[in-house]
Structure 1
Amino acid sequence: MCLYTSKEADMGNILLVAVGVFSIIMILTGLKKGLIRMAFSLLSMIVILFLINILTPSVKQLLKATPVYTEITSSIGKYVDDNVNLATKNMTQTGVSAQQKIIDGLPLPKEIRKSLKQNNTEESYNSFKVDSFSAYISASLADMIVGAVAFIILYIGLSALLKILINVLDIVARLPVISTFNAAGGALVGLAESVIIIWIACIVVTAFSSTQWGQTVCKAISDNGILSFIYDNNIIQKFITGIFSI
């Protein structure tokens, strides 16, 4: 989820170049490190994502008891006041169809708007303990951001624990019999890993989307077709939106 305002138009091109350079660096890194170490690195990332799936709900509940959640809800509240409440006052229609039009008009990525419309139900209102459309939007967006923050915390922590295991594989990767295949395969795995890391970077942007910096980056992504494609097709983001939010 990205909350954005107008900023420099060329930011999108800068981000696109950064994404391209990062992908090339990851491919070259794969060539250097080899298939065994890069494959284990990718496998570790998959294991981390699996563990995050299990641990995120608990971490979200812990975060909701901290000042972090208070700050997030405060920022989201201002965003809803500036967008949802204003649109509601200017809307002549009422009911679900009017609410869907309001959601479609929000400056949010397509997948987030889709989730908000699909979950605009009585069950969601009861789950969030809200009784109005604007309160539902606030609660939903805050929940998504908290989920992204929980993801980042868990990813950093679990990655640190697995880093030692990856370094151990250097001994195996140096065997001369498998060195050539190891390098070529490492390049391919490096490319795959770069895509996952870019998706994770998108989640970082989501987590900080209520800040000025996050809004600037979100605007740049929205204005660039390739970056928008990467953001809107972020499998990890869809996973968080679909599993960790109502």
Structure 2
Amino acid sequence: MRLSTLLAAGLVLCVNATWAAGPAQWGYGGAQGPAHWGGLSPDFTVCEQGRNQSPIDIRSAVTAKLPPLRTHYTSGPATIVNNGHTIQVNFAPGGILGLDGEDFELKQVHFHAPSENTIDGRSFPFEAHFVHADAKGALAVIGVMYETGAANEALAPIWAELPGQAGPVRALSQAVDAARLLPATMGYYRYSGSLTTPPCSEGVRWLVLKTPLTVSAEQVAAFERIMGGPTNRPVQPLNGRLIAE
């Protein structure tokens, strides 16, 4: 199967509600946890055999002349879903990330507690992944870290409508301005990785922002109560990959 097809399949897994029972169930603990994903389905073998897996511990980055990130996100209607693995907000078309001379459209943002990527061995209490796709289905993900502190006002309207149980996609009552969900300073680390959930497809361009945002302990606790436990895949071997900054 072509890489673009695999990545597009992975995006569908992320974007569409996956709350209904399926042939290959996975989770974050026990026999369905990350250590076993590769054996749960033939479609998940990359989770075990892949050499460019995410998340990673970001350290010893190579200094490079990375261009500034160019984002043009718009405010508009959005939907929300508890897919049994995370809370995900799906955006209307129009948000753009310019990267490598291409336009990647913002598809969705979802969350993990604690963070999946770590920086110099440091885990953060919360992480957001902004998933983008180009016209061929290739993916680019912006990772945003959160420190415990003041409540995050940009997240507050979303948190007011968090689905308490896994279920279908539903519309949010307020428009979402995706630009407000990003920090003002956009310095970043870059590496080549994968989806952090099955099928763990590789070829994903990862852009992890250096500047964390704040989130209140209550906001994190509300997410954790709904999800019922940690929602992070452990960091994966670097296998010789370079991290640029």
TM bin, normalised by shorter chain, reads: under 0.3
Give TM-score, length-normalised by structure 2. Answer: 0.24
From the two aligned structures, give the one with the greater strand fraction. Answer: 2
What TM-score do you get using the length of structure 1 for normalisation? 0.24
Higher RCO structure (Cα 8 Å, ≥6 apart):
1
